[in-house]
């Protein structure tokens, strides 16, 4: 078997956010082994489990890349990064889009401009 015969098709690249549940259910198992039950579990613990799996898979892919391992795949690495970003964005609570919420956020002092006591 030649080197070209062993190559697999590159995993598809997910967008910054999943278009729908079908796309998520189709792409995530290609990047990391997840059961259908794990994919449909939308509870906070279920989301954490999927995020943990993606984080571990990305760490393993990075290790393979740094070691120059023959099984490293740049396409899979990029897919894992984007899938992790999409899952993190989906796990974040939706921010209120009211004008008062934006005004309150702009009045808060930034962390680097906190007043120091005793100076």
pLDDT digits (tens, 9 = 90+) for 46-91: 989 999 999 999 999 999 999 999 999 999 999 999 999 988 888 8
- Structural domain contains residue 72: yes
CA dihedral 45, 24, 28, 11 (to 10 degrees): -160
- Structural domain contains residue 116: no
Q: Between residues 108 and 23, which one has the greater pLDDT?
A: 23
* DSSP classification of residue 95: P
- Structural domain contains residue 100: no
CA dihedral 20, 25, 31, 36 (to 10 degrees): 150
Range(s) of the domain holding residue 65: 10-93
């Amino acid at each position: 078997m030649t080197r070209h015969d062993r190559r697999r098709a590159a995993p598809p690249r997910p967008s910054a956010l999943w278009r729908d549940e079908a796309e998520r259910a189709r792409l995530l198992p290609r990047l990391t082994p997840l059961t259908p039950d794990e994919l449909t579990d939308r509870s906070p613990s279920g989301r954490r489990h999927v995020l943990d799996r993606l984080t571990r898979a990305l760490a393993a892919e990075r290790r393979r890349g740094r070691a120059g391992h023959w099984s490293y795949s740049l396409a899979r690495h990029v897919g894992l990064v984007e899938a992790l970003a999409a899952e993190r964005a989906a796990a974040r609570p939706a921010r209120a889009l009211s004008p008062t919420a934006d005004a309150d956020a702009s009045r808060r002092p930034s962390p680097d401009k906190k007043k120091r006591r005793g100076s």
